[in-house]
Copies of this chain bind each other. A is one copy, B any other.
Amino acid sequence: MIRLSQYFLPTVKEDPAEAQIVSHKLMLRAGMIRQASAGIYSWLPLGLRVLKKVEKIVREEQDVAGAQEILMPTIQSAELWKESGRYNGYGKEMLRILDRHQREMLYGPTNEELITDIFRQTLRSYKDLPKILYHIQWKFRDEVRPRFGVMRGREFLMKDSYSFDIDKIRARQSYNRMFVSYLRTFAKLGLRAIPMQADTGPIGGNLSHEFIILAETGESEVFCDKKYLNFDPLAEKLTYENNLEKIVERWTSEYAATDEKHIVAKEKELGSSLLHARGIEVGHIFYFGKKYSKAMGVTIAGPKEEPIIPEMGSYGIGVSRLVGAIIEASHDHAGIIWPDTVSPFSCGILNLRINDQNCCKTCEDLAIKLEKCGHEVLYDDRDETAGNKFAVMDLVGLPWQIVVGPRGLKNGVVELKRRDTGERNELSIDSIIEKLSPKN
């Protein structure tokens, strides 16, 4: 149990002037983040809890898909980027650095070169493949106008995976594997993401999908068939035992494209079935074949000792951006409404009379019982008005609120409120424990 009286949760009543979009406003107001410098944020305890939950879900789904976690550093040598030919072309978004010996370094915006170098140093045989390696690490892109809080920051947390295969067919299988894992990941996060045909930009290659959350405040202009609104990943068997190609076929069967890839003629055909909307990019996957492996001279030995240049793909999820995206998709006038899977705490307890022994004892007993059945509890034991407590608890958006006051306790009840529906019920302590216990 965390006691709010001691917790570092600097909430703010008014909308901060620096923020334009709702997720940025709410993250500042709910004491989740503070700006350190333009486009660079410190994560305070409440924000960090959410970031870690998102990260955990992303990690679990990578592991289930058979990807293996490593951790590459943030600072890279420019040498590798010269080998791949991207160093000069990458533009001003790359943060370039000279170290004390005047060596050219950079803060990694992505890791194709470094992972290819690791592969080159360590793997020798076709027997070592397939391999999908991933890491979750801070990246830096020196945006000319960072804005929208963590949605378009300069320093951001990204999960990036890299696949290595011996031929095109198997590379496509790895691509499908990551495609399905992304559907599963976003569904677990309580988000509806639509895979759309996308431009490959500086990563390269000719096959690429962006996973897009529809949201008015999204930066991307997107075009898709309204049929996608009825696609439900939770209703489908998105497991790796199934035919992955069929799943990918189904999810790419209708028209869906980002701004750079949209085709006006197709949209005219669709007519009223066309959805022209704005969206937030939360994932982006690429197949680019031998672009890096060839440029960096990677070969492994095939079954007959013949040299094979591996086929590669890369797969990114914006972990810190997702925190903002989830809030964009799930909030109301009073504050954030966390999906259960990523909520910083599952349950808040509001003590309306902190100098009443019975209230205090009830709250603490309740917290202990809830923790025993797996809940994470934030206990508002502050010397504040009931109004302030209600407002803060709505703002920080925990799924369940339990209000404990002297009047209810006289009748043996406390109030249970569900944040998303607003439903309230007066219940006994035992009924609350039963209701909030995990079902078998």
Q: Interface residues, chain A, CB within 8 Å of chain B?
A: 6-8, 10, 31, 34, 36-38, 40-45, 48, 51, 66, 68-77, 79, 92-93, 95, 97, 99-100, 103, 105, 107, 114, 117-118, 121-123, 131, 133, 138, 140, 142, 144, 154-155
Contact B95 A99 (CB under 8 A): yes
Nearest CB in chain B to that of A115: its residue: B42
Contact B48 A70 (CB under 8 A): yes
Residue from B8, B99, B107 in contact with A70 in the complex, judged by beta carbons closer than 8 Å: B8
Shortest C-beta distance, A200 to chain B (Å), equals 24
Residue from B6, B34, B45, B118 in contact with A69 in the complex, judged by beta carbons closer than 8 Å: B45
Given contacts A34-B121, A36-B73, A73-B155, 4 further A-B contacts (CB under 8 A): A40-B75, A44-B70, A75-B155, A107-B107
Contact B142 A99 (CB under 8 A): yes
- Bound complex: CA A72 to CA B138 (Å): 11
Interfacial chain B residues near A95, Cβ < 8 Å:
75, 97, 99
Contact B8 A133 (CB under 8 A): yes
Contact A8 B99 (CB under 8 A): no
Shortest C-beta distance, A142 to chain B (Å), equals 5
A interface: dominant SS:
mixed
10 contacts between A and B (CB under 8 A): A10-B121, A36-B73, A37-B77, A37-B103, A40-B77, A42-B118, A43-B70, A43-B71, A73-B138, A107-B107
Contact A77 B36 (CB under 8 A): yes
Interfacial chain B residues near A70, Cβ < 8 Å:
8, 42-45, 48
Shortest C-beta distance, A320 to chain B (Å), equals 10
How many protomers of this protein does the assembly include?
Answer: 2
Give the top 5 A-B pairs by smallest Cβ distance, nearest first.
Answer: A10-B122, A37-B77, A43-B71, A92-B100, A42-B72
Residue from B45, B66, B105 in contact with A68 in the complex, judged by beta carbons closer than 8 Å: B45
Shortest C-beta distance, A132 to chain B (Å), equals 10
Interfacial chain B residues near A77, Cβ < 8 Å:
36-37, 40
- Bound complex: CA A356 to CA B330 (Å): 55
- Bound complex: CA A6 to CA B75 (Å): 29
Contact B74 A37 (CB under 8 A): no
- Bound complex: CA A34 to CA B144 (Å): 34
- Bound complex: CA A99 to CA B155 (Å): 12
- Bound complex: CA A70 to CA B122 (Å): 36
Residue from B7, B37, B114, B123 in contact with A42 in the complex, judged by beta carbons closer than 8 Å: B114
Residue from B37, B93, B131 in contact with A105 in the complex, judged by beta carbons closer than 8 Å: B37
Residue from B99, B122, B133, B155 in contact with A74 in the complex, judged by beta carbons closer than 8 Å: B155
Nearest CB in chain B to that of A42: its residue: B72
- Bound complex: CA A379 to CA B239 (Å): 24
Residue from B69, B93, B138, B144 in contact with A138 in the complex, judged by beta carbons closer than 8 Å: B138
- Bound complex: CA A69 to CA B118 (Å): 32
- Bound complex: CA A66 to CA B138 (Å): 27
- Bound complex: CA A138 to CA B117 (Å): 22
Contact A144 B100 (CB under 8 A): yes
- Bound complex: CA A93 to CA B101 (Å): 11
Shortest C-beta distance, A166 to chain B (Å), equals 15
Contact A8 B76 (CB under 8 A): no
- Bound complex: CA A43 to CA B134 (Å): 11
Interfacial chain B residues near A144, Cβ < 8 Å:
100
Contact A73 B118 (CB under 8 A): no
Contact A71 B100 (CB under 8 A): no
